[in-house]
């Protein structure tokens, strides 16, 4: 899907996966299991699983993830090991190819129940004399670990990789898909709490965003974008 429609085009799939996962976990009568331990629950192994895998290839590259998947396949193909592969074997194959700085992503995705609370606090822009625009915006990032009863277990105080962006009006591509129009877009290490940035762009941005493509499992993704004030 990414190769066919691009990152912009896949955003609707990611948003739908996110909303389906959040809705299903809210009304499930069974304790939630991690992706590694889940046996029943499509909203975990499909909706959440698709988001975890997309995020992994996004932060460390599609080729590296494919290398891990190939090693997993080669190790267990044709039943040569005499046993079927488990989810732990898949985790181990991906963990082995992941850079140390990103191993937390594999652990969060497979072993933990993690929800983000990311939101844009404020955003203001000013026209410069050279025709460019200077925008200052504050993003609040929070990552929470939960136990299988849904109770908050830990608030992560470490930095986490999160997309940050400034955008113009949405556009429609040749396939009729509504896509975002980024003037500035970076994957950045954000501290827990408020993070303030000042960015200069060639055009006047209309929206500021944190995780604007919904790659992370955010409890409320509706506040990930905010209009920029003059």
Kindly write down the DSSP assignment for every residue of 31-57, as one continuous string.
PP--TTT-SS-HIIIIIIHHHHHHHHH
d(CA 128, CA 113): 45
**Residue 176: predicted pLDDT:** 78
Q: Which residue has the tokens 């909303």?
A: 19
**Residue 186: predicted pLDDT:** 97
| Cβ pair 124, 229 in contact under 8 A | yes
Nearest to 48 by CA among 212, 217, 163, 213: 217
d(CA 161, CA 174): 31
For the chain, report the end-to-end CA distance as a whole number of angstroms. Answer: 37
**Residue 65: predicted pLDDT:** 98
Task: Parse the chain into domains and list their residue ranges.
Answer: 2-113, 114-227
What is the three-class DSSP state of 146? strand
Type and span of the H or E element at 187:
strand 182-190
Residue ranges of the chain with per-residue pLDDT less than 70: none
Strands 160-167 and 182-190: antiparallel
CATH of domain 114-227: 2.60.40.1840
**Residue 191: predicted pLDDT:** 97
Q: What is the pLDDT of residues 18-73, one digit of tens each?
A: 999 999 998 887 889 999 999 888 999 999 999 999 999 999 999 999 999 999 99
**Residue 10: predicted pLDDT:** 85
């Amino acid at each position: 899907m990414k190769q066919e429609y691009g990152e912009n085009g896949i955003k609707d799939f990611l948003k739908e996966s996110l909303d389906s996962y959040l809705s299903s976990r809210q009304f499930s009568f069974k304790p939630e299991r991690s992706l590694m331990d889940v046996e029943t629950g499509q909203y975990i192994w499909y909706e959440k699983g698709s988001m975890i895998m997309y995020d992994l290839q996004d932060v460390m590259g599609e080729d590296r993830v494919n290398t891990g998947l190939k090693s997993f396949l080669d190790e267990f193909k044709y039943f040569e090991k005499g046993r079927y592969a488990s989810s732990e074997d898949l985790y181990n194959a991906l963990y082995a190819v992941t850079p140390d700085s990103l191993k937390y992503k594999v652990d969060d995705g497979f072993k933990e129940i993690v929800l983000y609370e990311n939101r844009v606090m404020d955003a203001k822009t000013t026209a410069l004399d050279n025709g460019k625009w200077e925008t200052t915006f504050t993003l609040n990032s929070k990552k929470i670990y939960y136990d299988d009863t849904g109770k908050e277990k830990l608030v992560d105080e470490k930095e986490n990789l999160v997309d940050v962006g400034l955008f113009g009006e949405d556009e429609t591509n040749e396939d009729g898909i509504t896509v975002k129009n980024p003037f500035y877009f970076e994957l950045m290490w954000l501290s827990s709490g408020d993070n303030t940035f000042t960015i200069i762009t060639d055009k006047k941005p209309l929206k500021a965003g944190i995780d604007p493509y919904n790659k992370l499992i955010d409890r409320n993704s509706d506040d990930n974008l905010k209009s920029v004030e003059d």
